[in-house]
Amino acid sequence: MEPTFPLFRLPENVIIEVLRSTDHAEQLLIFSQVSTKAKNLVTSLGVRARKVYIEISDAIDLSVRFGPRSLWGFRFRNDSNDQNAELDINRPMCPNYIFPYKIIQQSTPFYFSEWLDHIRTIFCYTKPPEVSFWPGSERFELESLKNMIKNVTCLTISDEIIDIQSKRILNTFKNLNKLNLYENPFEDTCEVRKLFIQNFGKIRFSGIYSLDDMLLVNSENVRFWSSTTQKQFNQFIKHWIRGSNPRLQRMSLSIDETDSVSRDVLLKGIRYVDVAKEKQLEICRKHKIDSDYMVEIRRKDGTPAVIAVNERRHFLNVHFVVLY
């Protein structure tokens, strides 16, 4: 048996210094479950999470990111021999382990919402968690998940999710700020256009899209994963110059090289000026993009924007950024 140390007999300021020397955040989490005093001590450290993620597949992962290389979390999964049996999320439960460090079976069960609230409290995280759905999530009742998580503003749906499940998820989780939809589940174009006209902060969409779809986008930031043609992009820019897409701040897309890509075709009929190298580097740093060449255009009301083009092996990455 390892020797024990009466930590709580120390002065509070000494306990706090001991906790500050802890290398891993999951140790703080385990300590915070000992008592209300322990929870308050950990909270007082001011350790801040950058992101909280919930990934739903055949299990539920609750992960916390503290930095670019610091990520750990819980996994809740069915512990019975029947792995197809539904995990009852409406009762107190224990996570099976904390990853990526070592397996730890927590002994005290809590409701999932209590685990989430506890983590958000001690690590000073006030935003809603980012939620993603993967194959296997069909075993969970969506309304129960929604009630358990409470507030979802960033939603990701994997391209491996079947269409009917994707539709159910979209019908359940609404009032989103960010949507990542990696497979279009709709056969009816009217249905997917209902997504485009919503005022998301950001939408990422994978699927065929027309010029009309682009003009319906009411989000501030849009990423189209499927490629388009330089002609379609050229037409979109001309519409934007005339006043379309007033909320748009950034659009990113790609153009396949089989489209015989030409700068002259891409910018045909558009008044532009080349952006000086120094200004181009500044814009690239600010917006975290790469650019082989960049031009500036203006909307009819004088609003400036840039088109940044990055040539890749088989396609062009094109970033359209409005400079408010």
* pLDDT per position as a tens digit, 6-59: 777 777 777 788 788 776 677 787 788 788 888 888 888 888 888 999 999 988
7: Cα separation from own chain's centroid: 39
Alpha carbon distance 19, 25 (integer Å): 10
What spatial distance separates the first Cα and last Cα of the chain, rounded to whole Å?
A: 64
Q: Is 213 inside any structural domain? A: no
Q: Is 129 inside any structural domain? A: no
Which residue do the tokens 């999964």 mark? 77
Total domains in the fold of the chain? 1
Q: Is 264 inside any structural domain? A: yes
What domain range includes position 258?
227-324
Alpha carbon distance 53, 62 (integer Å): 6
Q: Is 75 inside any structural domain? A: no
Whether the Cβ atoms of residue 157 and residue 170 lie closer than 8 Å to each other: yes
Say what the pTM is. 0.85
Per-residue pLDDT reduced to its tens digit, 260-282: 667 888 999 999 999 999 999 99
Single out the residue of 91, 62, 94, 101 nearest to residue 79, CA to CA.
94
Task: Tell whether the model's pLDDT for residue 218 goes beyond 60.
Answer: yes
Q: What pLDDT is recorded for position 317?
A: 92
Q: Is 100 inside any structural domain? A: no
Q: What pLDDT is recorded for position 274?
A: 95
Task: Tell whether the model's pLDDT for residue 258 goes beyond 70.
Answer: no
Per-residue pLDDT reduced to its tens digit, 88-136: 788 888 776 666 555 566 667 788 888 889 888 888 899 999 999 999 9
Pick the more confident residue, 22 or 139.
139
Cross-strand bridge partners of residue 295: 274, 307
Mean pLDDT of 220-247: 96
Q: What pLDDT is recorded for position 102?
A: 57
Pick the more confident residue, 313 or 64.
64
Q: What pLDDT is recorded for position 1?
A: 47
Task: Tell whether the model's pLDDT for residue 154 goes beyond 80.
Answer: yes
Task: Tell whether the model's pLDDT for residue 215 goes beyond 90.
Answer: yes
Q: Is 239 inside any structural domain? A: yes
Task: Tell whether the model's pLDDT for residue 207 goes beyond 80.
Answer: yes
Q: Is 271 inside any structural domain? A: yes
Q: Is 307 inside any structural domain? A: yes
Cross-strand bridge partners of residue 222: 203, 251
How many residues does this entry show for the chain? 324
